[in-house]
Amino acid sequence: MEQAAWALRPFAPAPGTVLAPLIEIPDGGVKEFSFGVGFNVWRMFVLRREGSVYGYLNLCPHYSMPLNHRDNEFMSRDGSKIMCRQHLALFRVEDGACLGGACDGRSLDAVPLRLDNGMIVIA
Ligand code: FES
């Protein structure tokens, strides 16, 4: 089976890596996680929305830059979409698809997650 792009990047965590207790992210909240150090640090963020969690690599498909400027700042003003703070591209929460702006036809790279005994785990 072909490996997903997120898994091929330096410092990518192995499937089964525990990220955090689910309770650390309130409904509607977002939290960033990183692995490794230096220029190639591996960064992702997790959104919790109506009982589900969604994980994406923190790498915008527009210019391959992190989406945020500040800690855990990933959402549009109304909280309904993911927003890249670099050039304001918008992405759908459920699948990371581009909804508008400088990401035309591209998507965020999803990182599969599962819940295990109240913990958020890389699937
Ligand atoms: S780097 Fe995200 S919109 Fe340009």
Tell me the CA–centroid distance for residue 99 and ligand 1, in Å: 13
Atom 4 of ligand 1: nearest residue by CA position:
87
Q: What is the mean pLDDT of residues 23-32?
A: 96
Q: What is the mean pLDDT of residues 99-122?
A: 96
Number of structural domains the chain divides into: 1
Q: Is the pLDDT of residue 43 over 70?
A: yes
pLDDT at 3: 80
Q: What is the mean pLDDT of residues 104-109?
A: 95
Measured from CB, residues less than 6 Å from any atom of ligand 1 are 60, 62-63, 65, 84, 86-87, 89, 101-103
pLDDT at 110: 97
Helix (H) or strand (E) holding 100: strand 98-100
Q: 112: domain range? A: 5-122
Q: Is the pLDDT of residue 71 over 70?
A: yes
Pairwise CA distance, residues 30 & 47, whole Å: 4
- Report residue 59 as tokens: 């790498």
pLDDT at 1: 64
Pairwise CA distance, residues 38 & 98, whole Å: 29
Burial 61-80 (b: 16+ CB within 10 A, else e): bbeeebbbeeeeebbeeeee
Task: Determine the distance from the C-alpha atom of residue 66 to the mean position of all C-alpha atoms in its chain, rounded to a whole number.
Answer: 10
How many other C-beta atoms can be found within 10 angstroms of the C-beta atom of residue 101? 15
Tell me the CA–centroid distance for residue 104 and ligand 1, in Å: 11
Q: Which of 62, 53, 44 is nearest to 7 (CA)?
A: 44
**Ligand 1, residues 57, 59, 63, 106: which to mutate, most atoms within 8 A of Cβ?**
63
State residue 107 phi and psi, 5-degree precision: -135, 160
pLDDT at 84: 98
What CATH number should be reported for the domain holding residue 94? 2.102.10.10
Q: What is the mean pLDDT of residues 73-96?
A: 97
pLDDT at 56: 98
Tell me the CA–centroid distance for residue 85 and ligand 1, in Å: 7
State residue 9 phi and psi, 5-degree precision: -75, 155
Ligand 1 atom nearest the C-alpha of 63 is 1
